[in-house]
């Protein structure tokens, strides 16, 4: 039987981790997979999470099952941070998911069960978005996310929405767009929100980097503007980056609707999908996040750590932007983009040359992880960029 299986390429992005690790050159630079790094290149566990983990070790007296929705204390503790302190809690319910990927999968599966047949999505996007849509058997309707000038293309979204309606879900990145770093401005969100409502589409917002762009509140602007305008929406949330919990797989899926019966059914469907896929999400990371969010001191420590990360990425962006133009690559826009990623207009050959000749690893799309750059390697990176594009 198994010989009938077709070969599968390794995931290009995750494959970079192995390639980078196998490279013996000490000056190599990892701009691949999206993990935050400090100025010394480390991806440490947050101090707030370490403290919460110590408490967990001390206090947790059982590892008995929780159920397919996971740790509901975690799910609820996030709500004011995601939806805003004044959000009407009766409109929202959620469940834990294994990372942002699990949350996106749940959201799309629930949308499918609700009758959604097409997912409208800006491209480029995180490659896994399209893979998940394909895996669920829904149709992907792409539109261009970015203008030639490197701003978010509101007109393209407007045009695709004119062809969309009930039965369509529109997937939007809440902040820190992956892979471009190009976010909608608050003024654009103010146009998008009523447009989504007028078309009767189901917004599906992926918020995987809250706090890494402009701050926890500012990064939720778009999501909150949309939720103020539409009757219902789905949200996929990740704590992998903003709590640094990557491999612990901490995410949440939320449904928002004013219809209490529909909310109950959205959660029941989410639970049955989870049960058949992973049964229950892993507990540890979510329990640690819950302890952080239940404790004012740990919350303050976590937010301060997030500020540090954001400030460092802003410094890196400012230094890259100061280069203005490197060969054909405009660098100034990197200064106004957000989050871990930006995308450089490089050819496949140039990306390969950066890797082979200079030990610089980045995604095949030209996406770079801003946090992979430090005071020590920015100038060599810019020099290598100049060399391969000359």
Q: How many chain residues interact with ligand LMR (CB under 6 A)?
A: 6
Task: Work out whether 13 is an interface residue with ligand LMR (CB under 6 A).
Answer: yes
With CB under 6 A as the contact rule, the residue among 16, 31, 34, 350 that binds ligand LMR is 34
The residue among 116 and 246 lying less far from ligand LMR, judged by its C-beta, is: 246
Count of beta carbons in the 10 Å neighbourhood of residue 2? 4
Nearest-approach distance from CB 102 to ligand LMR, in angstroms: 11
Buried-exposed string 44-64: b where 16+ CB fall within 10 A, e elsewhere? eebebbebbbebbeeeeeeee
Q: Which of residues 128-147 bind ligand LMR (CB under 6 A)?
A: 128
DSSP assignment of 185-203: PHHHHHHHHHHHHHHT-EE
With CB under 6 A as the contact rule, the residue among 20, 46, 83, 126 that binds ligand LMR is 126
The residue among 33 and 384 lying less far from ligand LMR, judged by its C-beta, is: 33
The residue among 126 and 189 lying less far from ligand LMR, judged by its C-beta, is: 126
Query: How far, in whole angstroms, is CA 261 from its chain's centroid?
Result: 29
Nearest-approach distance from CB 306 to ligand LMR, in angstroms: 17
DSSP assignment of 28-70: -EEE-S-----TTS--PPPHHHHHHHHHHHHH--------TT-
Residue (of 88, 139, 91, 94) closest to 112 by Cα position: 139
The residue among 157 and 370 lying less far from ligand LMR, judged by its C-beta, is: 370
* Contact present, 241 and 340 (Cβ < 8 Å): yes
Q: Which of residues 287-346 bind ligand LMR (CB under 6 A)?
A: none
Nearest-approach distance from CB 199 to ligand LMR, in angstroms: 29
Q: Which helix (H) or strand (E) holds 133?
A: helix 127-136
* Contact present, 230 and 243 (Cβ < 8 Å): no
Nearest-approach distance from CB 198 to ligand LMR, in angstroms: 32
The residue among 34 and 70 lying less far from ligand LMR, judged by its C-beta, is: 34
Residue in the shown chain whose Cβ atom is closest to ligand LMR? 34
The residues annotated with a catalytic role in the active site are 126, 206, 241
* Contact present, 35 and 246 (Cβ < 8 Å): yes
Count of beta carbons in the 10 Å neighbourhood of residue 269? 18
Nearest-approach distance from CB 138 to ligand LMR, in angstroms: 20
Spatial separation of the C-alpha atoms in residues 109 and 294, rounded to whole Å: 31
Q: Which of residues 61-100 bind ligand LMR (CB under 6 A)?
A: none
Nearest-approach distance from CB 285 to ligand LMR, in angstroms: 15
Strand 251-257 relative to strand 232-238, pairing: antiparallel
With CB under 6 A as the contact rule, the residue among 29, 31, 33, 385 that binds ligand LMR is 33
- The conformation of residue 240, written as its DSSP 8-state character, comes to T
The residue among 13 and 334 lying less far from ligand LMR, judged by its C-beta, is: 13
Interface contacts to ligand LMR, rule CB under 6 A = 13, 33-34, 126, 128, 178
């Amino acid at each position: 039987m198994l010989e009938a299986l077709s070969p599968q390429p390794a995931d290009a992005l995750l494959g970079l981790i192995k390639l980078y690790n196998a490279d013996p050159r000490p000056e190599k630079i990892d701009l691949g997979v999206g993990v935050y790094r400090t100025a010394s290149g480390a991806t440490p566990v947050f101090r707030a999470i370490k403290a919460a983990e110590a408490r967990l070790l001390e206090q947790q007296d059982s590892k008995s099952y929780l159920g397919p929705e996971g740790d509901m204390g975690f799910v609820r503790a996030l709500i004011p941070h995601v939806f805003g302190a004044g959000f009407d809690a009766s409109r929202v319910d959620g469940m834990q998911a294994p990372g942002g990927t699990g949350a996106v999968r749940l959201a799309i599966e629930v949308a499918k069960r609700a009758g959604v047949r097409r997912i409208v999505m800006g491209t480029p996007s995180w490659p896994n978005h399209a893979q998940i849509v394909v895996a669920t058997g829904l149709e992907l309707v792409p539109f261009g996310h970015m203008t030639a000038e490197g701003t978010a293309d509101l007109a393209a979204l407007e045009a695709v929405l004119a062809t969309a309606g009930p039965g369509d879900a529109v997937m939007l990145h809440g902040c820190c767009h992956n892979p471009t770093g190009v976010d909608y401005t608050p003024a654009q969100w103010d146009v998008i929100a009523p447009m989504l409502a007028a078309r009767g589409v189901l917004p599906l917002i992926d918020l995987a980097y809250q706090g890494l762009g402009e701050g926890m509140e500012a990064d939720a602007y778009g999501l909150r503007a949309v939720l103020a305008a539409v009757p219902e929406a789905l949200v996929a949330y990740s704590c992998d980056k903003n709590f640094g919990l990557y491999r612990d797989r901490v995410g949440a899926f939320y449904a928002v609707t004013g219809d209490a019966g529909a909310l109950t059914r959205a959660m029941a469907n989410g639970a049955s999908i989870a049960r058949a896929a992973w049964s229950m999400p892993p507990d540890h990371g979510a329990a640690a996040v819950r302890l952080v969010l239940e404790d004012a001191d740990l919350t303050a420590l976590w937010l301060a750590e997030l500020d540090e990360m954001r400030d460092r990425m802003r410094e890196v962006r400012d230094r890259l932007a100061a280069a203005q133009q490197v060969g054909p690559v405009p660098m100034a826009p990197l200064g106004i983009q957000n989050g871990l990623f930006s995308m450089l207009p490089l050819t496949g050959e140039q990306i390969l040359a950066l890797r082979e000749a200079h030990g610089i690893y980045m995604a095949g799309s030209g996406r770079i992880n801003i946090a992979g750059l430090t005071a020590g390697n920015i100038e060599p990176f810019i020099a290598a960029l100049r060399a391969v594009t000359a």
